[in-house]
Amino acid sequence: MIKKTAFLLLAAVCAAPGFARAEAHPGAKAAKAAEGINVKISYKMKLDGQESSGSFVTQSGTQTNNVLKEEAPCEADASTGKKAHNGRGAIVNALPILTAGGKASVELQAEMTEPLDAGGKAGQVKTFQYQGTFSAELGRTIVLVDAPDRHFELEIEELPAK
């Protein structure tokens, strides 16, 4: 009886005038229409003078993970004999959604990893991470982080259908 009452109450609330529905959001129709359109994401990340940049294509409304990784030769730790990798790389995970007015709403996670300077133990790295949601104008570079030791910018473009 409780489940039936809760369902009926939920149905009544959803049918009530003014109830917010995802379809009623002003950008929802444009975002739905933009699904499947190709989007190019170009990025540039800097961490303590080292830079990683690239670009990849995904579809509006589709999450994509771009991984760039470079492994340096393994070094053995003299005290343990274990090998540790001194890798560097960048990961950019993006979910762009094209919206009305030449803009995109983007959920983004990015990480850049660099080995510590000479003299550090094998396997020790420094890492820069960014996670956020933002709006960006298509075709314009947006700077997400600008600090003395780190920088992250990207540009989102809609690719024409061929």
DSSP string, 122-161: TT-EEEEEEEEEEEEETTSEEEEEEETTEEEEEEEEEPPP
pLDDT given at position 61: 95
Look at the chain and report how many structural domains it folds into: 1
Average predicted confidence (pLDDT) for the chain: 77
Q: Identify the domain containing residue 103 by its residue range.
A: 2-158
Q: Examine the pLDDT at 74 and tell me if it is beyond 60.
A: no
